[in-house]
């Protein structure tokens, strides 16, 4: 199990005060805090190894290249990919999804269909809108039920021989719902379609094995799993990546250039144009080491305990409505509203108590509309959060009720 007491000492930011109060950071679905080990890895990279990668033949360049390549290998092992060739570093999960959507925008034809779900983040909606607009392909949506879970029968119906791709979030950033992505990938493959998983909210929070899921592509971001900002991951099956066009051209992504033409570098470098985020990769390696030491199964267990406690305590407050399924079926993400109080007001009052949550549409406007709300308050937990912090959230919400007179 995770010992939060000793672990919290690794996170310098957790000892700071906000508005004179102890910081209670519950906005982890947006981005997580960084332990000393990650901060130190970035610092040490710049202090002792900084250089460009894959280019010069000197000691520093060798060291930087080794750190950068090693981060690809560690990522491959972290999600059980076949090899580092299947791991492309991007700017973030959004860019990773865009790499695939860009390729589809060259290959789809009128009459082809893409299947998404009603619970997608804008990052797994808008790139597909663009692909559909460019090609005349059609987008269909898998619906959600009253518990915030996918209606699997309806999903089975809309995936047909016309479907080219099913792109689905592994875990919703609003409802917390964990989707049966293995089953969805099987349904897609049965109809000859590919399956892409938006794993921005799953890889940080539970063991994820791309081979077991059987997906073709998968995207996530380092900053949501203790790593630095500015680094995302696209996993793709090797033979698919071989046939995927790069999104950005120039720099390290070429093999041969003449005045007339160019050929692309080997995987994964053909997708990594220009000088990459080497310091970010060094930090990401340290983040993965940290999580591996904790054990992703323990991360999941810890979040589940927190989610159970939070849902129980939240449901004791009159006028609080929680969205999404029971704790066992979700990650440590809990969206809720307080009757007659705008989520921004709730978030502002919580902030004045030192409690950081997210209030708003969470980059899921269509889902908000479907739920009949403008936004929600979202508390999301990670490895360093404690039961006491959830109790502090509950006390502060009771204060909101008093201040807002509801
Ligand atoms: C489900 C989901 N997908 C995609 C993203 C996009 O991640 P990034 O902003 O790191 O590109 C997020 C970020 O919140 C997310 O929650």
Greatest Cα pair distance, the chain, in angstroms, is: 72
> Distance from the CA of 200 to the center of ligand 1, in angstroms?
5
Domain boundaries, the chain: 4-30+296-404, 40-292
**Measured from the CA of 221, which atom of ligand 1 is nearest?**
10
For residue 101, the SS3 value is: helix
Q: How many whole angstroms separate alpha carbon 234 and alpha carbon 221?
A: 9
pLDDT for the residue 405:
94
User: For residue 256, is the peptide bond before it cis, meaning its omega torsion is within 30 degrees of 0?
Assistant: no
Whether ligand 1 lies within 6 angstroms of the CB of 92 is answered as: yes
User: CATH for 4-30+296-404, among 1.10.10.10, 3.40.640.10, 3.40.50.2000, 3.90.1150.10?
Assistant: 3.90.1150.10
Angle at 359 between CA 227 and CA 299, to 5 degrees: 35
**Measured from the CA of 362, which atom of ligand 1 is nearest?**
14
Q: What are phi and psi of 399, to 5 degrees?
A: -65, -40
**Measured from the CA of 30, which atom of ligand 1 is nearest?**
14
CA distances for 44 relative to 36, 78, 224, 228, 285, angstroms: 11, 23, 22, 14, 13
Whether ligand 1 lies within 6 angstroms of the CB of 94 is answered as: yes
> Nearest-CA neighbor of 163 among 133, 123, 131, 190?
190
Contact 225, 78 (CB under 8 A): no
User: CATH for 40-292, among 3.40.640.10, 1.50.10.10, 3.20.20.70, 3.40.50.1970?
Assistant: 3.40.640.10
Whether ligand 1 lies within 6 angstroms of the CB of 203 is answered as: no
CA atoms within 13 A on the CB side of 60: 10
Contact 97, 196 (CB under 8 A): yes
Q: How many whole angstroms separate alpha carbon 25 and alpha carbon 22?
A: 10
pLDDT for the residue 55:
80
> Nearest-CA neighbor of 124 among 163, 79, 92?
92
CA distances for 308 relative to 80, 283, 298, 356, angstroms: 29, 32, 15, 20
pLDDT for the residue 20:
97
User: For residue 285, is the peptide bond before it cis, meaning its omega torsion is within 30 degrees of 0?
Assistant: no
Q: Are strands 355-356 and 376-380 parallel, antiparallel or unpaired?
A: unpaired
Q: What are phi and psi of 361, to 5 degrees?
A: -95, -5
Whether ligand 1 lies within 6 angstroms of the CB of 173 is answered as: yes
Whether ligand 1 lies within 6 angstroms of the CB of 124 is answered as: yes
For residue 329, the SS3 value is: helix
Q: Is-catalytic flag, 363?
A: yes
Task: Convert the pLDDT of each residue in 27-64 to its tens digit.
Answer: 999 999 999 999 999 999 999 999 999 987 899 999 99
> Nearest-CA neighbor of 210 among 83, 31, 30, 68?
83
Q: Are strands 163-169 and 376-380 parallel, antiparallel or unpaired?
A: unpaired
What residues are paired with 338 via a beta bridge? 320, 341
Catalytically annotated residue among 363, 368, 371, 393: 363
Using CB atoms within 10 Å of the CB of residue 248, give its burial: 0 to 12 exposed, 13 to 18 middle, 19+ buried: middle
> Distance from the CA of 225 to the center of ligand 1, in angstroms?
12
Task: Convert the pLDDT of each residue in 88-99 to its tens digit.
Answer: 999 999 999 999
pLDDT for the residue 252:
85
Q: How many whole angstroms separate alpha carbon 353 and alpha carbon 26?
A: 12
> Distance from the CA of 212 to the center of ligand 1, in angstroms?
23
pLDDT for the residue 183:
98
pLDDT for the residue 67:
97
Q: Tokens 């199990």, residue?
A: 1
Token code pair at residue 247? 């999104």
pTM above 0.85, yes or no: yes
Regions in the chain scoring below 50 on pLDDT? none
Token code pair at residue 97? 């999804």
Candidate of 201, 220, 228, 333 to mutate for ligand 1, largest count of ligand atoms within 8 Å of Cβ: 201
Token code pair at residue 340? 């007659």
Angle between helices 59-78 and 278-294 (to 10 degrees): 40
């Amino acid at each position: 199990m995770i010992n939060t007491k000793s672990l919290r000492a690794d996170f310098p930011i957790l000892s700071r005060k906000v508005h004179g109060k102890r910081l209670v950071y519950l906005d982890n679905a947006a981005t997580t805090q960084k332990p000393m080990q990650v901060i130190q890895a970035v610092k040490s990279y710049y202090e002792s190894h900084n250089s460009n990668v894959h280019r010069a033949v000197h000691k520093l360049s060798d060291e930087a290249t080794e750190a950068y390549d090693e981060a690809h290998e560690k990522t491959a092992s972290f999600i059980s990919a076949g090899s580092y060739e299947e791991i492309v570093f991007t700017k973030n999960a959004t860019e990773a999804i865009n790499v695939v959507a860009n390729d589809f925008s060259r290959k789809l034809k009128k009459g082809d269909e893409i299947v998404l779900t009603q619970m997608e983040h804008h990052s797994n909606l808008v790139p597909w809108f663009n692909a559909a607009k460019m090609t005349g392909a059609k987008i269909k949506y898998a619906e959600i039920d009253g518990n915030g879970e996918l209606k699997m029968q309806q999903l089975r119906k809309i995936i047909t021989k016309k479907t080219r791709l099913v792109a689905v979030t592994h875990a919703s950033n609003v409802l917390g719902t964990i989707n049966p992505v293995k089953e969805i990938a099987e349904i897609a493959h049965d109809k000859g379609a590919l399956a892409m998983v938006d794993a921005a909210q799953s890889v940080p929070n539970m063991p994820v094995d791309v081979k077991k899921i059987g997906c073709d592509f998968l995207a996530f971001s380092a900053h949501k799993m203790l790593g630095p900002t500015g680094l995302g991951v696209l996993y793709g099956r090797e033979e698919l990546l071989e046939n995927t066009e790069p999104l950005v051209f120039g720099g390290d992504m070429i093999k041969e250039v003449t005045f007339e033409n160019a050929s692309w570098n080997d995987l994964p470098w053909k997708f990594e144009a220009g000088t990459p985020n080497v310091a970010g990769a060094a930090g990401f390696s340290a983040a993965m080491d940290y999580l591996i030491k904790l054990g992703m199964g323990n991360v999941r267990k810890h979040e589940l305990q927190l989610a159970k406690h939070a849902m129980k305590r939240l449901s004791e407050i009159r006028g609080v409505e929680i969205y999404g399924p029971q704790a066992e079926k979700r990650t440590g993400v809990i969206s809720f509203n307080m009757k007659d109080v705008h989520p921004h007001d709730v978030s502002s009052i919580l902030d004045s108590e030192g409690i950081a949550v997210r209030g708003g549409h969470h980059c899921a406007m269509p889902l908000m509309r479907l739920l009949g709300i403008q936004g929600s308050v979202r508390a999301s937990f990670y490895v360093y959060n404690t039961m006491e912090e959830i109790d502090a959230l509950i006390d502060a919400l009771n204060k909101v009720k008093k201040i807002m007179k509801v």
